[in-house]
Amino acid sequence: MTSGGLPAASTLAVAEPHHLATADHGAPEPLLEIRGLSVDYGDGQGAVHAVDRVDLVIRRGEALGLAGESGSGKSTLAHAITRLLRPPAHVTGGEVLFYPRRSGEVVDAVDVLQLTKAQLRRYRWEHVAVVFQSAMNALNPVVDIRSQLTDALRAHRPDMKKADRYAKAEELLDLVGVSVDRLRSYPHQLSGGMRQRVMIAMALALEPDLIVMDEPTTALDVVTQRQILEKIEDLRRELSFAYLFITHDLSLLLDIANAVAIMYAGRVVEIGSSQRLYEHAAHPYSQGLLQSFPPLSGPRRTLSGIPGFPPDLRALPSGCPFNPRCAHAMDICRVEYPPSTLLVEPGSTRHVVTCWRYASGHSEPPLVKADDG
């Protein structure tokens, strides 16, 4: 994989990946590192902080999950790292560092947010592809599948011959398990599952390093959802891309992702390996989310859900924004935003939570045992 003409941003201070943001240690090298990223909707007094000082690292070949309720900022985050935000949304701070690999060597990172328009066009799809939630809305209704599968090739590989592009389109459809004679079909002629497979095929066209998937299976029925998820996982093993999988369905993430980050009111409140979160979700919100969905596999749990409503970002409560819904809320939770705490670091697994219950000097809940993991 080439870096596609990206400039090496040697001027950018490239430090070690932020220690609290990483889920794994000594694991593959970082691919995309989000540092202190903030996104506002609107300006001045009425501005809404949809994403607030988020740190996150996606490693090469990793399946990272991002979970949260609607309005938690997870889709905004996805749009911010692909620079697809539309006014009134805009980035107010932070960096999105991309670590290109040139002939196997890691070279200097570039800040995606600083790329010029031309650089950005080259960076897009070549390195980071996107799969949107509703394939019906994300496919151009008046253009056939083949043209939509190949136009990224046309834009990024100007030397490629037409016949080769078409051959590649066939190969891609085959890869995701859609019959090749669908190439000349239009989106409305395909079923929902097929459309989503086409979306994934499209994302694979340039063999990107990372695919951002914004609720790719939410609109599908459970059986189709299952098939698509398995397909994605197979393809990841085969083609070794990383993906960021965004959904409100935490139990689904625990099933498919290596690591999971939980967002609430624009902040990442907990991050850890799927295994660790499944067994010992620490944040009261994560625990609530887990109990809102039946697990796709494994033993059944009683569903309880989270009381109350998602927060109104225009009028967040002071302190920890989750405090009005939290069964464990303490006085300090209503006053000050909690610090992040590294819960456990046995071997290669990190588990970080942003909650007063785990902050040093405050009572350690009995739920977490440090030797677990």
Binding footprint of other proteins on the chain (CB under 8 A):
41-42, 48, 50, 69-71, 82, 84, 86-89, 120-126, 129-130, 132-134, 136-144, 151-152, 155-156, 186, 188-189, 192, 202, 218-219, 248-249, 288-289, 292-293, 303-307, 309-310, 312-313
Judged by beta carbon, residue 13 or residue 223, the one nearer other proteins is: 223
Nearest distance in Å: CB 257, other proteins: 17
- The phi and psi torsions of 233 (rounded to 5 degrees) equal -65, -40
Judged by beta carbon, residue 52 or residue 126, the one nearer other proteins is: 126
Nearest distance in Å: CB 84, other proteins: 6
Judged by beta carbon, residue 31 or residue 343, the one nearer other proteins is: 31
Nearest distance in Å: CB 151, other proteins: 6
CB proximity list for 153: less than 8 A, separation 6 or greater = 160, 165, 168, 205, 206
CB proximity list for 34: less than 8 A, separation 6 or greater = 21, 54, 55, 56, 57, 77, 81, 94, 95, 96, 97
Report d(CA 10, CA 7) in Å as an integer.
9
Nearest distance in Å: CB 371, other proteins: 32
In contact, 246 and 215? CB cutoff 8 Å: yes
Judged by beta carbon, residue 139 or residue 257, the one nearer other proteins is: 139
Judged by beta carbon, residue 22 or residue 148, the one nearer other proteins is: 148
Give the residue among 224, 366, 234, 249 at the shortest CA–CA distance from 303: 249
Judged by beta carbon, residue 236 or residue 248, the one nearer other proteins is: 248
Nearest distance in Å: CB 360, other proteins: 31
- The phi and psi torsions of 351 (rounded to 5 degrees) equal -145, 115
In contact, 232 and 49? CB cutoff 8 Å: no
Nearest distance in Å: CB 77, other proteins: 13
Report d(CA 273, CA 283) in Å as an integer.
14
In contact, 30 and 64? CB cutoff 8 Å: no
In contact, 343 and 282? CB cutoff 8 Å: yes
Rg (CA), the chain: 21
> Which H or E run contains 195?
helix 192-204
Nearest distance in Å: CB 46, other proteins: 8
The three-state secondary structure class of 288 is helix
Judged by beta carbon, residue 100 or residue 288, the one nearer other proteins is: 288
Judged by beta carbon, residue 138 or residue 242, the one nearer other proteins is: 138
Nearest distance in Å: CB 153, other proteins: 10
Nearest distance in Å: CB 300, other proteins: 14
Judged by beta carbon, residue 174 or residue 312, the one nearer other proteins is: 312
**DSSP codes, 224-246:** HHHHHHHHHHHHHHHH--EEEEE
Give the residue among 69, 70, 38, 43 at the shortest CA–CA distance from 56: 38
